[in-house]
Amino acid sequence: MKTRSAPPRTKAAHAPDKWPEWPPHGLIGGPLMSRFAVDVELANYFDVELARQGKLRPEKVRRTTIRGVVDPGASKLVIPSAVADQLGLPRSDRVRVTYADGRKGWRDTADGAWLSLLGRHSVYIAVLEPKRDSALIGAIVLEDLDLLVDCKNQKLVPRDPRWILSEIE
């Protein structure tokens, strides 16, 4: 009877020199990740809801349009404290923040920041930054509004222009 011998040992596989391009360069996570500006509309959600119920005239809704910096490396919505005051957003909690340069600090948050971008909208708890003059639009907002980042062309692109796709499982 013949005996089978174990196959000869081979060297461990090494990672390829070049990985396939996925996601494609310029989309979230690609090597061309960068920051760019868009106009974003902010409003007091509590006013928006009162107007929807007919209890507040639409022109009385506190709202503003400011420059927003798209940064997929950031996580949340950050707005200037002065804008939160202008919109009458109630302060809620304090959160620990970490800046891109490694600094850490504590910042107030405000409830009911209604944000509209490219015809899509939602409501967020915003982190307040006292010395900012623009909004910071992080990954949570982009994911929630189902927007992809095209860094090569410096713009946001809806994954599906007809509607927001929500993956639930």
Please tell me the predicted confidence (pLDDT) of residue 20: 43
CB contact at 8 A, 121 and 52: no
> What whole-number distance in Å separates Cα of residue 84 and Cα of residue 119?
22
Please tell me the predicted confidence (pLDDT) of residue 1: 55
Please tell me the predicted confidence (pLDDT) of residue 43: 98
Please tell me the predicted confidence (pLDDT) of residue 169: 80
Q: In CATH, what class is 36-158?
A: mainly beta
Please tell me the predicted confidence (pLDDT) of residue 7: 52
Residues 6+ apart with CB under 8 A from 161: none
Per DSSP (E only), the strands in 63-168 are 63-70, 77-80, 91-98, 104-117, 120-129, 135-137, 147-150, 155-158
Query: Phi/psi of residue 114, each to 5°?
Result: -80, 125
Residue 169 three-state SS: coil
Q: Where are the domains of the chain?
A: 36-158
pTM: 0.78
Low-confidence ranges of the chain (pLDDT < 70): 1-33
